[in-house]
Structure 1
């Protein structure tokens, strides 16, 4: 049998699996908390006065805000589940592509917070902490890209 011109796929990187599972746990936990305990999270992260403002003043506003928070939490939980599934993909080219996309997503989220969320009076000081979190999550993917580049060319 003649030798194949394409080399066999490289095994999955353990760093990719670890980062995906950690990000999956963060997203799924945050999503579940958003769906079921948003008022407590607002109070814990913003304080009682800001939490009252964020929860709305009329029953109609409160219903809309709770519905929006529930759907946002459900979306975040689904993202966590998808990240868990992606962690089992064994294609290194996909790992690199996915890590670049996640880095870009986190950078855009940080930019969104800097340019828009800081203008919301109730969230005036909270955007800094969340922006730092977005940058740290992006850096975890950058570290993976550097690690995988080192593995590839060593």
Structure 2
């Protein structure tokens, strides 16, 4: 049996590092959203705003807690997916995935800027989250530039 060599460059360890970093962020944020949302609201927004965000009636509170739990579960699943993807060694896939993640983070930043900042109680937090989305997108762009330099250097 002969081993065939491919013409594609070797996989980048930067991809694994970025995926694992984003995975840790998503897993921890998702777990906190599912189980400790009241404390997170209080810590990030203050007691008064947290009370508003948690709802005024028992029905509203139940809907908000359910929504936060499902959002946290989705974020946890994304973190787990990122963990699994971090072990993919195909450079073409890594490039495609990084471009898609960059697009999603930029799209989220634009969405937060245009819509979420209009909610009075979330206006300050949306600025912080928009900056976070842009920084996460930039990490993927750095990977794309790094892999391009690795490929053509």
Shared topology, TM-score over 0.5?
A: yes
Q: How does 1:2-151 map to 2 (within 5 A)?
A: 7-151=6-150
**How far off its partner does 1:44 sit?**
0.5
**Unmatched 5+ residue regions in structure 2?**
none
TM-score by length of 1: 0.95
CA contact (8 A) 2:9 2:151 kept: no
Q: Matches of 1:149 and 1:9 in 2, distance apart? A: 12
**How far off its partner does 1:7 sit?**
2.7
Q: How many residues align?
A: 152
TM-score by length of 2: 0.95
Q: Matches of 1:8 and 1:149 in 2, distance apart? A: 15
Q: Matches of 2:138 and 2:92 in 1, distance apart? A: 19
Over 6 Å off, 4+ runs: none
**How far off its partner does 1:121 sit?**
1.1
**How far off its partner does 1:11 sit?**
2.7
Give the root-mean-square deviation of aligned CA atoms. Answer: 1.6
Q: Matches of 1:52 and 1:5 in 2, distance apart? A: 62
Residue 6 of structure 2 aligns to a residue whose secondary structure is coil
**Unmatched 5+ residue regions in structure 1?**
none
